Amino acid sequence: MKDLSRAQSPLRRLTLDGLTNDRPSWTPDGNSVVYLARSPGARAIYSLRADGSEGRELILENSEYRLLGGEISADGRWLIYRQGQDRQDLDDASGASDVLAYDLQAGGEPLPVAASEFNERAPAMSPDGRWVAYVSDQSGRDEIYVRPFPDSGPLVRVSLEGGGEPTWSADGRELFFRDGTQRMIAAAVSVDDGFRITDQQALFPSDAYQSSLLTRTYQVLPDGRFLMMLRADFGESIVLVQNWGQFVDERLSN
């Protein structure tokens, strides 16, 4: 944990249990972190207060399948997460996995969101809780899809030339993702009569920043700025990408 409001803020360790703790995401109120805890023969998703004032709280564990990380919906009701379809370690992008949702209020059995023979991953729920974006290789390569939630309905393909790491704008009117050439794309969304993509715009090349086939590696702030990490071969640091129109012009002129 690092306080970005202070330039000289030291790193502070939050988790002390288990062998590996990763795939962090924030709860909607910004007070806690949700993460995946892994130890021999067990995986579970926990939440932990960011100030370290309390111990970790178990959200979900599953002994039959491999939990692979998740995040909480904007209204705090759902855990949207990814799990492997068998007992093998499926942390690589080639292994089959599904997207499910767990009702934190009612409990019960998880709700399948995208569960098939294909590899579905990197889920992101819209701010209003009506739609889930995710990555699937059902076409033969990774593409971004959106489907209604929690009820089933028509599946909409969003990306045109490959896609990964989807996330929504704060108002839910845009869906951001990386395309197959590592450009950051903003897709304009209309939900007035079903779900439609009305426009797509390439924002800036993102090949200098960390990426993943499995999970999102960047954050879009409410004001539209991007928080990203430089790749190790470009220098290890966290970068706030703003004025990205100027950034694009500078990259293209080099």
- Whether residue 51 lies inside any domain: the answer is no
Q: What would the pLDDT profile of 160-203 be if each residue is shown by its tens digit?
A: 999 999 999 999 999 999 999 999 999 999 998 889 999 999 99
Tally of domains within the chain = 1
Q: What would the pLDDT profile of 16-26 be if each residue is shown by its tens digit?
A: 676 787 788 88
Q: Which residues pair with 83 in a beta bridge?
A: 67, 98
- Whether residue 34 lies inside any domain: the answer is no
Flag whether pLDDT at 50 surpasses 70: yes
HSE, CB side, 13 Å, CA atoms: give it for residue 138: 18
Residue 238, C-beta contacts closer than 8 angstroms, at least 6 positions apart: 4, 227, 228, 229, 230
Domain of residue 147 covers 62-253
What does the block give as tokens for 136?
Answer: 């699937």
Between 12 and 53, where is the model more confident? 53
- Whether residue 29 lies inside any domain: the answer is no
User: Which pLDDT score, from 0 to 100, does residue 1 have?
Assistant: 60
- Whether residue 45 lies inside any domain: the answer is no
Between 168 and 29, where is the model more confident? 168
Average pLDDT over residues 85-104: 67
Q: Which CATH number belongs to the domain containing residue 188 in this structure? A: 2.120.10.30
Q: What is the pTM of this model?
A: 0.82
Flag whether pLDDT at 88 surpasses 50: no
Q: Are 28 and 72 in contact (CB under 8 A)?
A: yes
Distance CA 36, CA 5 (A): 26
- Whether residue 43 lies inside any domain: the answer is no
What does the block give as tokens for 176?
Answer: 């951001």
